[in-house]
Amino acid sequence: MSNDVKFPPKPKRTKLKIKLGITLAVLAALYTVALTTTGFEVRPSASSAWHTLQRIFIAPLFDADTRAAFPELVGYMLETIAIAYAGLSIAAILAIPVGFLAARNMTGNNLSYIGKGILNAIRAIPELIFAIIFVAAVGIGPYAGVLAISINSIGMLGKLYAEVIETIDMSKVEAIKASGGNRVQAMWYGVLPQVVPEFSSYAIYRFEIDVRASTVLGIVGAGGIGFPLLLATQQRNWEDVGMILYVVVIFVTIIDIVSGKIRNKLV
Amino acid sequence: MLEFKDVSLTYPNGHQGLKNINLKINDGEFVVVVGMSGAGKSTLIRSINRLVTPTSGELLIDDENILKYKENNLRKLRTKTGMIFQQHNLVKRMSVLRNTLSGRLGHMGTLRSLLGMFPQDDVNLAMSNLNRVGIGEKAYTRADQLSGGQQQRVSIARVLTQKPKVILADEPVASLDPPTAHKVMSDLKRISREDNLTTLVNLHFIDMAQEFADRIIGLRDGEVVFDGPVSEVSDKTFEEIYGRPIKEDDLLGGDED
Ligand SMILES: Nc1ncnc2c1ncn2[C@@H]1O[C@H](COP(=O)(O)OP(=O)(O)O)[C@@H](O)[C@H]1O
Ligand SMILES: [Mg+2]
């Protein structure tokens, strides 16, 4: 009986095809403009790509000089992690009031709308740009990095916190209100206990992101392992570049594994 | 004394929740409010602690019109008016004792309460109330590890810890099984008697209403259609309140266990 099954006529996809064609044409035009106006050329570098890759990934393991730099690089990596940790700690706490302000069920539609708008604007700006601004404002060093990381993390955590708060069971808040508690008490006793596990989980997840983000802050002088990375690439010192990559990969992986385990326990 | 004088409430969407309610409730009375779903039972008792605000008339508690209350007076009113909800509204991840103590929040300064610095007197009061409802040994257990009946007892203890004059209970046993519902209602009645608390309970089940009430108020479409002592109540009264014959669903059953 399967040939009795009736299908509606298939939609014609001409519109889609036209859109796709136009998109491709525009992209091709943009590439042409970009490549011709920026003087971009594919030029063979002094050494072959293969040779460079070998110097990055293989050589550091056997080169005694590079291996001697390991402890120093670990030091830089620990500074990187410290920047991420300090920035995140500030953000995880400051994002709480921000999240409450941006949550619709706490402050009403208008304030929530404004709050979320500000948070989105913050999130739209990359850490590196904040880092450049703070290096100019407070000087070169990890302090600028901490500020950059924390601002950016507030943007994301504030929004996530607000979303968590919007899903809570408001009847607990009503119960506190009904017993004569004020707004602050209602939040502390009615809302916080419901959201703390999710908040912590998001904060830890954000720490993973912040460690990664902190690794490049040094490029603009905001501290961490980005600084030796910048030096090494400028000197075409591929062995050191490789060693730095190894250090970053090792630490980031360990942090991801540990934080993933903790997050699993929390929620 | 609690007095409704021509109280009406129109919700923002235009729906009339209460229509010209006139009632006098004496101190220490145990009143059960019955009526079909949507009759206005919740609206009626939530007016008394101003979780909703009637749009006309006067609602007097000890001769003061509480409909005029703002911020500070409102908080004071609510500390004296304990409310028990159908869903117990305990904070799951907090201990039973702490949940009970949260009944004191209205009496405390904000900073003290944020730091969790409850006066020892309050802790003693909370603990003794837990003992009174028979779950003292659960004081340090997390609230979400209790059964439904135990959780509802904690909310009774929490409300007592407010040291209220009035207790409002909005279908407090609706989500419990019959024997448990019966026990929780007995506890509520006993405590209300012992402390001479004016108590208004919304109940869905008519056999329960008859068993526990001193006085029954029947609501239909936001109007009081019956008000009298439980001795005057018969099945026919309920049929009038409900506007239809009594069904099996209207009875809790299983009173004896
Ligand atoms: N916030 C509200 N806005 C509009 N209508 C409401 C609101 N709350 C309740 N109502 C309506 O008012 C009537 C009475 O509701 P309620 O007091 O909850 O009845 P009951 O508790 O007896 O079931 C119902 O028809 C309900 O739909
Ligand atoms: Mg109701």
Four-CA torsion A16, A20, A22, A26, nearest 10 degrees: 150
Distance, in Å, from the CA atom of A213 to the CA atom of B171, rounded to the nearest integer, reads 53
**Structure token digits, residue B255:** 């009173």
Whether B49 and B17 have beta carbons less than 8 Å apart is answered as no
Q: Does B103 touch chain A (CB under 8 A)?
A: yes
Pocket of ligand 1, candidates B34, B42, B44, B47: which has the most ligand atoms within 8 Å of its Cβ, to mutate?
Answer: B42
Would you say residue A156 lies in a domain?
yes
Q: How far apart are CA B164 and CA B49, in angstroms?
A: 12
CB A217 within 8 A of CB A156: no
- What does the DSSP assignment read for B177-189? -HHHHHHHHHHHH
Which ligand 1 atom minimizes the distance to the CA of B17?
12
- Give the pLDDT confidence score for residue B257 in this predicted structure: 42
| Phi/psi-derived region of residue B121, left when phi > 0, alpha when psi is between -120 and 50, beta in every other case | alpha
Flag whether pLDDT at B255 surpasses 60.
no
pLDDT at A34: 79
Parallel/antiparallel/unpaired status of strands B166-170 and B198-202: parallel
Name the residue of chain A whose CA is nearest to B158's CA.
A179
Q: Which domain holds residue A181?
A: 67-266
What domain count does chain A have? 1
Binding site membership of B49 for ligand 1 (Cβ less than 6 Å): no
Residue A29 belongs to what H/E stretch? helix A14-37
* Whole-number percent of chain B with pLDDT over 90: 79
Whether B50 contacts B130, CB under 8 Å: no
Could B89 and A189 be called an inter-chain contact, meaning their C-beta atoms sit closer than 8 Å?
no
- Residues B217, B33: contact at Cβ < 8 Å? yes
> Would you say residue A183 lies in a domain?
yes
Looking at per-residue pLDDT, the higher value among B171 and B205 belongs to B171
Query: Cβ distance A149 to A94 under 8 Å?
Result: no
pLDDT of residue A4: 80
Partner-chain residue, chosen from B75, B92, B94, that has the shortest CB–CB distance to A180: B75
Instruction: Determine the distance in angstroms separating the CA of B221 from the nearest CA of chain A, rounded to an integer.
Output: 25
Question: Can you tell me the mean pLDDT for B70-85?
Answer: 93
CA distance B91 to chain A (A): 7
Ligand located closest to B242 CA: 1
Q: Is the CB of B47 under 6 A from ligand 1?
A: no
Question: Rounded to 10 degrees, what is the CA torsion of B254, B255, B256, B257?
Answer: 70
pLDDT higher than 90, residue B74? yes
Percent of chain B at pLDDT exceeding 70: 98
**Which protein residue has the closest C-alpha to ligand 1 atom 25?**
B38
Instruction: Quote the CA–CA distance of A186 and B88 in Å, as a whole number.
Output: 16
Residue B96's contacts (CB-CB under 8 Å, 6 or more residues apart) are B90, B130, B135, B138, B139, B140, B141, B142, B143, B146, B154
In a domain, A222, yes or no: yes
Residue A261 lies in a domain: yes
Q: Give the pLDDT means over successive 10-residue stretches in chain A (267 positions).
A: 75 84 92 77 66 83 82 93 95 93 88 90 92 94 94 95 92 92 90 91 95 93 92 90 93 94 87
Alpha-carbon distances, residue A129 vs A132, A134, A135, A234 (angstroms): 5, 9, 10, 21
Spatial separation of the C-alpha atoms in residues B164 and B103, rounded to whole Å:
10
**CATH no. for residue A76?**
1.10.3720.10
Q: What CATH fold (topology level) applies to the domain B26-39+69-84+166-250?
A: Rossmann fold (3.40.50)
Q: Is the pTM of this model over 0.80?
A: no
What pLDDT is stored for residue B247 in this prediction?
80
Please check whether residue A149 lies inside any domain of the structure.
yes
pLDDT at position A46: 59
Which ligand neighbours the alpha carbon of B46 most closely?
Answer: 1
Q: Does B75 reach chain A within 8 Å, measured CB to CB?
A: yes
Cα separation, B53 vs A178, whole angstroms: 13
Q: Which residues contact A80 (CB under 8 A, 6 or more apart)?
A: A211, A214, A215, A217, A218, A223, A224, A225, A226, A251
Of B198, B190, B162, B171, which Cα lies nearest the Cα of B82? Answer: B162
User: Which residues in chain A have their CB less than 8 angstroms from residue B113's CB?
Assistant: 181, 185, 188-189
CA B33, chain centre distance (Å): 10
Sorted by where each begins, the domain ranges of chain B are 26-39+69-84+166-250, 89-163
Q: Is B204 in the pocket of ligand 1 (CB under 6 A)?
A: no
Q: Residue A7: its pLDDT value, please?
A: 82
- At residue B95, φ and ψ (nearest 5 deg) are -70, 160
Place of tokens 């060693």: A243
B204 and chain A: CB distance < 8 Å anywhere? Answer: no
Q: Is residue B13 exposed (0-12), middle (13-18) or buried (19+ Cβ within 10 Å)?
A: exposed
Closest atom of ligand 1 to B35 CA is 22
User: How far is it, in rounded angstroms, from Cα A79 to Cα A81?
Assistant: 5
The reply to whether residue A174 touches residue B89, judged by beta carbons under 8 angstroms, is yes
Is the beta carbon of B17 within 6 A of some atom in ligand 1? yes
- Whole-angstrom distance, CA of residue A228 vs CA of residue A226: 6
pLDDT, tens digit (0-9, with 9 covering 90-100), for B122-142? 999 999 999 999 999 999 999
Residue A9 counted as domain residue: no
Q: Is residue A27 part of a domain?
A: no
* Average pLDDT score, chain B: 92
